[in-house]
Amino acid sequence: MTASEITVQSTLSSQLHKIQASKEHCYEVTRADLPLSCPMPAMELWNSHPRVYLPIEDTGQEQCPYCGAVYTLKD
């Protein structure tokens, strides 16, 4: 895993540290994170784009059309 990759789990929303959505990042999500939206609930919103829902269930991987962040569904 590279330094720009971040593992996103359902526990993220309980963390105090917020993360930024960015095309530099790849995020692993689980079924507990569905429905998947970008930005995710644990992401900072001050410089974010409008929330968009990504249909990751069928493909296993989706890219946000706004910021380019790549999400991979981890089974």
Is the pLDDT at 54 greater than 60? The verdict is yes
Is the pLDDT at 13 greater than 50? The verdict is no
pLDDT at 22: 57
pTM to 2 decimals? 0.68
Is the pLDDT at 34 greater than 90? The verdict is yes
**Higher pLDDT, residue 9 or 20:** 20
DSSP for 11-73 reads: GGGG-SS-B---TT-EEEE-GGGPSEEES-TTB--TTPPPPEEE-HHHHSEEE-TTT--EEEE
